[in-house]
Structures are given as structure tokens and as C-alpha cells.
Amino acid sequence: MTRPGARLRSLATRLFDSSTMERLIDPAIADLQHEHHEATHDGRVWRGRAMSLVGYGACWKVLTIAAVRHAVFERTADDDRSVSRAIAFSLVAVGALTAALILPELEWTALRVSGAGKASRLVLSSVPSALVIALPLGLVFGVLLGLRHRRPTARVKWTVAGLGMLCSVGAFIIIGWLMPAANQEFRQLIAGRQLLRGFNELTLGELASGDPVRLMQVMSGGVTEARLALEFQFRVALAFAPLALTLFSLGVIAAQRRVRGPITIAVAALAACFGYYTLLYITRQAIYRDSPLALAPAWMQWMPNLTFLLIAWLSFRRSLATAPKESPQ
């Protein structure tokens, strides 16, 4: 039988240097194993389980602290350079993609509005919906291009994954509240009058309420509980995209065996983005057309993220199997 904490230790040895293992993680796992053994040896099975639960909690806390220390305080100049490059490339890519998404729309709408004030409000109100698409795609380009020069260390991976997580939190706020308000503002500016809202103009809270009767008063068109649940799942899944695509990009970079040129990497990033949105489109179509092949709608909404996370996991596995262990610091 596997001892408690053995798998956790196996995972940790792949991520941390020997000094961190000896000083931080091994003692915590030793406590967990010792306490569990003491309790089960005396025949107190439930106490053993309870002690394991507490011990695992402590081990995960130690692991989290070690990961943050590793990523933030013990980084090297090379790590800093890699992370800075990934951030800089991501910012440029997000900015360029946002502009590319906004400009054609504005060119068309600018002909229909008059006044500099109104035009600037139009620009501002179109930014959130453009960011929803630009953020995950920009991260793919940023991470792949920024880290292409060398195999990322565990510290770089943790830091970039943390950035992906932050972007997902940001995307959640944008998708949930900023985008609906901005969309409505945009539509009313173009129409020049008050308009009823559509699904894209409902906040995440309103979608979560699942109350079609109340929402019918502020919405145009039919609304059902099922449709509200579907849109809610879609938005949450879309907010998760920056993290899923960041992990995917990290996995691809970690698994690459030699340094590729910027054009090859840019093409790979483009293909990944195209793949993600094609998958998103196909799953949405399958849900709305009630395809017999479709799984439950909630699963279908998460399909693109799950697919890219699966590829990330396989890539990390491959990189861990082939890479030499990081030298102790």
C-alpha cells in the first residue's frame, strides 16, 4: 500500500530542488506519515484518516509557500529575463490584437456617429469585448515567443502559470460585469436611444439568477432557464481560457527539444488560437443544433479548455520524462 504523502512527494521532487525538499517538504510529509502510522497502529482508523487530512492540508500549505518562494524570491537573472520577455510579448500581443479587433468595427461605426466625445466613448466601450478574445490569444503568443529561447525552469513555469491565473481572474471580471455594461453602452450609442438587452448584455449575476420572468422585462427576445444556464457556463469557461492557454503554451515550450525560430513559433501560436476558437465554435454549434453527438451542454462548453489542458498535461509529462532534473540551488 502507498504511504500517505508518497505521491505528493513524487510530484514535489519534480518541481523543487533538493534543499527545498530536505528543509521544507520532507519534514512535513514525514510528520504526516508518522502521525498516520501512530493512529492506525493503535487501531484508530478514523483518527488516522483525520490526521491524514490535517497532515495533507499542512503539506499543501508548505508546498504553496515553497512554490511562491521559489517563483518570487529565489529567482535568477535568467528567470527574470524569461518572465519579463513573456510579459512584454504578451502585452504587445494583447494590445495589437485588441486594436485589430476594435479598429474595423470603429471604422464602420465612426461613419454613423458625430462628435469626438461620442467616438471616444465608442472606443472605450468596445475595449472589454475585444479584450475577452485578445487576452487568451495574446498570452499564447507572448508565452510561446517570450520563452522560446530556453527550456523554462520550474520557477519560470510557476510564475507564468500564476500570471495566467491572474489574467483569468481579470477575464472573469471583464466577462462577468464590464463587458455586458460596455456592450449595452456601445449599442445605445450607435442606436442613439435606450435599448432592451440581449444575452451578451446580461451580467454573470443575472445569468446565474436563472430567473427568466424577471429578465424578460429588460431583455429583447425569448429567454429560458436552460439558455441562461448555457450562457452562464459559456462565460465562466471563457474566463478560464487565459489560464488554460497559458498552461498549454508552457507545456509546448517545455516539451520542445530544440529552439525554434520566431516565425515557426508565431505560426504555432496562430494555429493554437485558430484551433481553440474552432473548437469553441464547433461545440457551440453542437449545443444549439442539439447534435446527437453532443455531451451535456456544461461539458461541451468546457471542451476547448479541457482539450488544451489535456495537451498541456501530455506535454509536461513528456518534458519531465526527457528533461534532466534541475540542479540543486
- Out of 65, 100, 169, 226, the only residue in the binding site for another protein (CB under 8 A) is 65
- Out of 8, 12, 15, 62, the only residue in the binding site for another protein (CB under 8 A) is 62
Q: How far is the CB of 12 from another protein (least distance, A)?
A: 12
Region of 65-73, 146-154, 220-228, 294-302 interacting with another protein (CB under 8 A): 65-73
Give the span between the Cα atoms of 27 and 66, in whole angstroms: 13
Question: Is the separation of the CB atoms in 242 and 139 below 8 Å?
Answer: yes
In the numeric block, the cell 519560470 is attached to 156
In the numeric block, the cell 436611444 is attached to 193
- Out of 34, 44, 112, 325, the only residue in the binding site for another protein (CB under 8 A) is 34
Number of H-type helices and E-type strands within the chain: 13, 0
13 binds another protein (CB under 8 A): no
Neighbour-count burial for 181-210, b at 16+ CB within 10 Å, e otherwise: ebbbbbbebbeeeeeebebebbbbebbeee
14 binds another protein (CB under 8 A): no
Give the span between the Cα atoms of 132 and 41, in whole angstroms: 55
Q: Where are the beta strands (DSSP E) in 116-177?
A: none
Full DSSP string of 51-81:
HHHHHHHHHHHHHHHHHHIIIIIS--HHHHH
3 binds another protein (CB under 8 A): yes
- Out of 10, 11, 45, 57, the only residue in the binding site for another protein (CB under 8 A) is 57
Neighbour-count burial for 47-76, b at 16+ CB within 10 Å, e otherwise: ebeebbeebbeebeebbeebbeebbeeebe
71 binds another protein (CB under 8 A): no
Give the span between the Cα atoms of 28 and 69, in whole angstroms: 17
**What residues does 197 pair with on adjacent strands?**
219
Select 29 or 311, whichever has its Cβ closest to another protein: 29
- Out of 13, 18, 31, 215, the only residue in the binding site for another protein (CB under 8 A) is 31
Number of residues that bind another protein (CB under 8 A): 26
- Out of 50, 58, 119, 219, the only residue in the binding site for another protein (CB under 8 A) is 58
26 binds another protein (CB under 8 A): yes
Residue 323 phi/psi, 5-degree rounding, is -80, 145
Select 38 or 78, whichever has its Cβ closest to another protein: 38
Identify the three-state secondary structure at position 197: strand
74 binds another protein (CB under 8 A): no
Select 44 or 61, whichever has its Cβ closest to another protein: 61
Query: Residue 274, Cα to own-chain centre: how many angstroms?
Result: 17
Residue 155 phi/psi, 5-degree rounding, is -65, -45
Region of 3-11, 293-301, 304-312, 321-329 interacting with another protein (CB under 8 A): 3-11
Q: How far is the CB of 51 from another protein (least distance, A)?
A: 11
245 binds another protein (CB under 8 A): no
Residue 314 phi/psi, 5-degree rounding, is -65, -40
- Out of 7, 14, 44, 61, the only residue in the binding site for another protein (CB under 8 A) is 61
Q: How far is the CB of 103 from another protein (least distance, A)?
A: 50
Select 33 or 188, whichever has its Cβ closest to another protein: 33
8 binds another protein (CB under 8 A): no
Name residues contacting another protein, limited to 250-279 (CB under 8 A). Answer: none
Binding site for another protein (CB under 8 A): 3, 5, 9, 23-24, 26-31, 33-38, 54-55, 57-58, 61-62, 65-66, 69
